[in-house]
């Protein structure tokens, strides 16, 4: 026999086997109550595992945010006006680059937080962030602002109707 004949017979057998298994699976799913229960049980188990993993990831991200804010506060911020302006521009540029990249939302939010920390009117900058920063990063930034009790931002998002309508305001 030719090699191509052997290959085509092998492929045909494999495809026939897959189709037969799919038909058998569908038959069992439709007609066997025990099989359906087992499928539902497995589906619930997978959903529970996914939920637990999401909770663990959320806790991990909150800890990462808390540590990032503490480190930023410990590093300190510039006090001179020119230094503040240069620091602000550097942090905003870095935050925009990280936000555009999308690979490090906590890092991007940290840059925006540092810029907010040295800005003379944080509440007006928050309104600007509301319109320009992606929602995911803005939510992380809100957690960072909540962590820092020394940062006075007033009614974060409450004074601007636009911010609360878009869902970007922090309550």
pLDDT at position 155: 52
d(CA 107, CA 113): 10
Q: Would you state the pLDDT for residue 147?
A: 86
Domain ranges of the chain: 63-166
Q: pLDDT for 10-25, tens place per residue?
A: 999 999 999 999 999 9
Residue of 31, 166, 102, 36 lying closest to 142 (CA atoms) = 166
pLDDT of residue 164: 43
pLDDT digits (tens, 9 = 90+) for 68-122: 899 988 888 888 889 999 999 999 999 999 998 888 899 999 999 999 999 988 8
pLDDT confidence of residue 171: 40
pTM, rounded to two decimals: 0.64
């Amino acid at each position: 026999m030719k090699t191509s004949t052997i290959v085509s017979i092998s492929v045909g057998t494999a495809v026939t086997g897959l189709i037969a298994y799919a038909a058998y699976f569908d038959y069992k799913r439709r007609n066997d109550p025990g099989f359906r229960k087992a499928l539902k049980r497995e589906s619930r188990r997978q959903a529970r595992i996914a939920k637990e993993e999401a909770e663990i990831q959320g806790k991990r991200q909150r800890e990462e945010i808390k540590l990032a804010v503490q480190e930023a506060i410990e590093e300190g911020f510039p006090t001179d006006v020119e230094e503040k302006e240069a620091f602000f521009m550097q942090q905003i540029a870095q935050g925009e680059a990280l936000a555009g990249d999308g690979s490090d939302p906590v890092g991007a939010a940290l840059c925006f937080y540092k810029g907010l920390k040295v800005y003379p009117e944080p509440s007006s900058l928050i309104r600007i962030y509301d319109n320009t920063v992606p929602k995911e990063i803005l939510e992380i930034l809100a957690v960072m602002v909540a962590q820092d009790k020394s940062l006075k931002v007033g009614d974060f998002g409450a004074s601007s109707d636009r911010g609360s309508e878009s869902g970007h305001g922090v309550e």
